[in-house]
Chains A and B, each alone.
Chain A
Amino acid sequence: DAKTTQPTSMDCAEGRAANLPCNHSTISGNEYVYWYRQIHSQGPQYIIHGLKNNETNEMASLIITEDRKSSTLILPHATLRDTAVYYCIVRGLSTGNQFYFGTGTSLTVIP
């Protein structure tokens, strides 16, 4: 599976958009980009995933660059409850492929 690189930490003002970047320059053509978050002492929560088109759901938007070497998770109106560690994971659709977690980005939403 492709390796991902994320900033260690970020701050965001409450009510503003939080933009979390992820580099996955070695991604292959059949690998999806998944985003999860982990609030302190809880299990990871699925946010969104995509292949090459931008995606949006009730939680967030995912913007994937045309060359697919990087992506950005956007939380449109961050709240204090969005404070968490956000993980970007790249994985193919083969049923044998597992999720390997990197270090993620610790997002702190500031009042």
Chain B
Amino acid sequence: GAVVSQHPSWVICKSGTSVKIECRSLDFQATTMFWYRQFPKQSLMLMATSNEGSKATYEQGVEKDKFLINHASLTLSTLTVTSAHPEDSSFYICSARTNTGIKNIQYFGAGTRLSVL
């Protein structure tokens, strides 16, 4: 299947700092990318959907000014957690989908574990 690379896999930061997470589709063009968050022992929660070249659509309850998403190219999306606090500590997972080939199969990155001290 298609490969989605996510970086970094693990990050520790101090409270109040910002953290950027990258998501790349390595062997296909991702017209749409998604960002999920997963707390321990819980399921994945969709945070936002982004289409290349346009603003992201955030799910209800997700602060768009805190979780900045940029999808500047067909192979790269970034999530920036601004002014991170301990409650933002979580497992963040990106996903990518292409509108060519096998449509509507979403491929997922390996995830980024964020720990805010």
Contact = CB atoms under 8 A, between A and B. Distances in A.
A38 B106 CA distance: 14
A45 interface: yes
14 contacts: A36-B108, A38-B44, A41-B91, A43-B4, A43-B6, A43-B109, A44-B95, A93-B103, A98-B34, A99-B95, A100-B46, A101-B46, A102-B43, A104-B43
B93 interface: yes
Contact of B110 (A42, A97, A98): A42
Given A41-B91, A43-B110, A44-B93, A32 B43 contact: no
Given A43-B4, A102-B43, 14 more contacts: A34-B105, A36-B108, A41-B111, A43-B6, A44-B44, A44-B93, A45-B108, A46-B108, A99-B34, A99-B46, A99-B95, A99-B106, A101-B45, A101-B46
Interface of A: 32, 34, 36, 38, 41-46, 49, 87, 91, 93, 95, 97-104
Contacts of A98: 34, 46, 49
Contact of B107 (A38, A46, A91): A46
Contacts of A100: 46
How large, as a class, is the contact surface on chain B?
Answer: 20 to 34
Contacts of A102: 43
Contacts of B1: 46
Interface in B59-111: 91, 93, 95, 99, 103-111
B90 to A, nearest CB: 12
B70 to A, nearest CB: 19
B32 interface: yes
